[in-house]
Every structure is written in structure tokens, then in C-alpha cells.
């Protein structure tokens, strides 16, 4: 049997850069429950007619025109993160981030890196529960991917 080379959910980690030189990346404690990364491709569509039979059903052709990445996360709100998130939300500037599928074996690590805007941030609370937060980050420019040797890298 060949077992799946998996990553535990808590090992999908968003790290935000501090803007210093050299830049230090730190995980947000508020992302302690749910997290995700979505890769998007925008396309332009064109209908390709059949010139030998214009009554025939046409096929749709697509061309990719742009790429973007969205990152989501949330969990119990860590108060020390709220000010950082508020400042980022209010800022016109993107922050450098790393999204890491972490592993104890370096050859299994996958890292996505790029600049991101904090485009959505909320705090919610109900009686008898702790305050929770969710957030969405959207890429600003290119996002790179680095793959460890065991997962397709050099």
C-alpha cells in the first residue's frame, strides 16, 4: 500500500512579513481553526463555430488572461492580532506573506509567497461563546511556489 503523503490541517500556516530587512514572517494566532488557499484563473471565452455546419453546436474556447490567489482563515480571535489586522485593513499597502504546507521533513514542505491585501476581516461573538474572526487576503501581483524535493521540487 502506498500511503498518501499528507499535511495535517493545522500545518497549513499563513505567515505575515514585518516589512523589515531581512523580513521576518510570523504566523497569526487568530488563524487557529479554519484556513484555505484558492488559486484563481480569469479567462476570456470565445464561441468557435463549425464552418462546415453553422447550425451545429459550437464549442467554447477559453484563454487564461490572469491569475490570482485568495487566502482565508479564522478561529478564536487572538486580541494581539486585532490591532495588526485593523492596521493592515486600513492600509493601502500589501504585505508580503508566506503560505506554508509545513512538515517535519524539509523535502515535504511547500511554500507559496507573494504580496497580499487584507480584503475582508470580521469579528463575531454570540452569548456563551468566545469571539471569533475570519479574514480573506487577496494577492497583489505574482505569487511564487517552492516545492520540497519529495513533492516535485529540485
* CATH code (residue 61): 2.30.110
43 inside domain: yes
3-state SS class at 132: strand
Q: Is residue 63 part of a domain?
A: yes
Does 1 reside within a domain? no
Please state the φ and ψ torsions of residue 10, each to the nearest 5 degrees.
Answer: -70, -10
Confirm whether pTM is higher than 0.75: yes
Quick check: is 121 in a domain?
Answer: yes
pLDDT in tens, 40-86: 999 999 999 999 999 999 999 999 999 999 999 999 999 999 999 99
**109 contacts 103 by C-beta, under 8 angstroms:** yes
Please tell me the total count of domains within the chain.
1
Q: In 10 A of CB 131, how many CB atoms?
A: 13
Amino acid at each position: 500500500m502506498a500511503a498518501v503523503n499528507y499535511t495535517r490541517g493545522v500545518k497549513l500556516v499563513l505567515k505575515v512579513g514585518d516589512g523589515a530587512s531581512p523580513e521576518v514572517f510570523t504566523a497569526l494566532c487568530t488563524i487557529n481553526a479554519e484556513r484555505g488557499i484558492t488559486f484563481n484563473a480569469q479567462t476570456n471565452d470565445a464561441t468557435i463555430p463549425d464552418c462546415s455546419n453553422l447550425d451545429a453546436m459550437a464549442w467554447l474556447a477559453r484563454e487564461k488572461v490572469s491569475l490570482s490567489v485568495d487566502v482565508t482563515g479564522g478561529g478564536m480571535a487572538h486580541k494581539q492580532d486585532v490591532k495588526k489586522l485593523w492596521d493592515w485593513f486600513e492600509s493601502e499597502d500589501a504585505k508580503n506573506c508566506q503560505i506554508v504546507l509545513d512538515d517535519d521533513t524539509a523535502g515535504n514542505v511547500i511554500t507559496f509567497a507573494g504580496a497580499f491585501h487584507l480584503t475582508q476581516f470580521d469579528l463575531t461573538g454570540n452569548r456563551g461563546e468566545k469571539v471569533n474572526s475570519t479574514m480573506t487576503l487577496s494577492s497583489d501581483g505574482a505569487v511564487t511556489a517552492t516545492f520540497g524535493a519529495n513533492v516535485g521540487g529540485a
